[in-house]
């Protein structure tokens, strides 16, 4: 699913955000990535989504080589990925349902399927009753769940959730983690970054990865 060999990421301002990353992720794995603020978690997910390219090393996502010459193919690859951004990036001025629908209506699918997928995703995150509220009127945790619904409505093979528990109380954080974990199946991998290591249950995950100053360490295999 993901194969990284000696990957480094240096931002234009010379910040070396990731150093010599070696990583292999199989289909159907649930992976947690932890590390202090600024350690490079978001940067790693950006590489997987093609928002940044490795400045050195080799990176492949679902068989797609991640480098600038592949921009067009990477745009297509993204349709098989469900990203949940740290800052949500929802579409303002629209209802919850429209947000989820717009997240995948450009996929070549019959309209009825698009709508059904959207509603199903909202039901899964427990927001069906808010489907026709404007996103502006939602609470923080509800924003989070809309973002998740948008990411999973497209039935992705890879879910990338960046800090989905941030700002949530323990109970709700746990709910979100369990929800995301539930999308893992034998084809779909789920990668989640989080500070909340104390909530993690090693029974459930396949790998726990820690990042410190851009250096990756495999902490534990579940």
Partner 1 sequence: MMKNYRANAAYFIKEAVTIFRFNLFSNILSLFSIALIFFIFAMMFSGWQISNHAAEALQGEAEINVYYNQNIGTQGIFQLSEKIKGINGIKKVRLVDEKEAYSRMEKILGEESSVLKIFDENPFNPYLEIKIDLEQTDLVLNGLKVLPGIEHVRNNKEVLDRVHSIAGTIRIFGSLVLFAVGLSTLVIVSHMLRQGIEHNREQINTLRLLGASEVFIGIPYLLEGLLLTMGGGILSGLASEWVVRKMTVQLASVLPFMPFPQAGVLCQQILFALSALSIFLGIAGSMLALSSAKPD
Ligand X SMILES: Nc1ncnc2c1ncn2[C@@H]1O[C@H](COP(=O)(O)OP(=O)(O)OP(=O)(O)O)[C@@H](O)[C@H]1O
Chain residues in the site for Mg ion (CB under 5 A): 42, 86
Q: Which of 37, 68, 69, 111 binds partner 1 (CB under 8 A)?
A: 111
Contacts (Cβ under 8 Å, ≥6 apart) of 14: none
- Kindly tell me which of 37 and 69 has the beta carbon lying closer to ligand X: 37
For position 37 contacting ligand X by CB under 6 A, the verdict is yes
For position 198 contacting partner 1 by CB under 8 A, the verdict is no
Smallest gap from Cβ 77 to ligand X, in A, equals: 21
- Measure the CA–CA gap between 171 and 116, rounded to whole angstroms: 29
116 within 8 A of 105, measured Cβ to Cβ: no
For position 42 contacting ligand X by CB under 6 A, the verdict is yes
100 within 8 A of 118, measured Cβ to Cβ: yes
β-strand pairing of 16-25 with 2-10: antiparallel
For position 161 contacting ligand X by CB under 6 A, the verdict is no
Q: Of the listed pieces 31-39, 72-80, 120-128, 181-189, which binds partner 1 according to CB under 8 A?
A: 72-80
- Measure the CA–CA gap between 56 and 106, rounded to whole angstroms: 33
Q: Which of 35, 54, 82, 156 binds ligand X (CB under 6 A)?
A: 35
User: Whats the size of the chain, residue-wise?
Assistant: 222
- Kindly tell me which of 58 and 91 has the beta carbon lying closer to partner 1: 91
- Kindly tell me which of 29 and 163 has the beta carbon lying closer to ligand X: 163
157 within 8 A of 27, measured Cβ to Cβ: yes
**Rounded alpha-carbon distances, angstroms, from residue 7 to 20, 59, 93, 163:** 5, 7, 39, 22
- Kindly tell me which of 86 and 95 has the beta carbon lying closer to Mg ion: 86
Output the CA angle 158-126-185, nearest 5 degrees: 30
- Kindly tell me which of 63 and 93 has the beta carbon lying closer to partner 1: 93
Applying CB under 6 A, the residues found at the interface with ligand X are 11, 13, 15, 17, 35, 37-43, 86, 163
């Amino acid at each position: 699913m993901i194969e990284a060999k000696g990957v480094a990421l240096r931002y234009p301002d010379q910040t070396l955000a990731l150093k010599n990353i070696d990583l292999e992720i199989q289909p159907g794995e649930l992976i947690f990535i932890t590390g202090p603020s600024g350690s490079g978690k978001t940067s790693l997910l950006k590489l997987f989504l093609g928002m940044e390219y490795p400045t050195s090393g080799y990176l492949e996502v679902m068989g797609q080589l991640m480098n600038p010459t592949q921009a067009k193919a990477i745009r297509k690859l993204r349709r098989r990925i469900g990203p949940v951004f740290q800052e949500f990036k929802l579409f303002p001025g629209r209802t919850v349902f429209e947000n989820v629908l717009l997240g995948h209506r450009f996929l070549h699918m019959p309209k009825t399927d698009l709508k059904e997928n959207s509603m199903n995703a909202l039901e899964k995150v427990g927001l069906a009753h808010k489907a026709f509220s404007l996103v502006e009127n939602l609470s923080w945790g509800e924003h989070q769940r809309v973002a998740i619904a948008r990411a999973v409505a497209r039935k992705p093979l890879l879910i990338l959730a960046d800090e989905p528990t941030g700002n949530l109380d323990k109970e709700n954080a746990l709910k979100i983690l369990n929800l995301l974990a539930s999308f893992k199946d034998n084809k779909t991998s789920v990668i989640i970054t989080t500070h909340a290591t104390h909530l993690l249950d090693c029974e459930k995950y396949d790998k726990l990865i820690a990042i410190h100053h851009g250096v990756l360490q495999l902490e534990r295999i579940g």
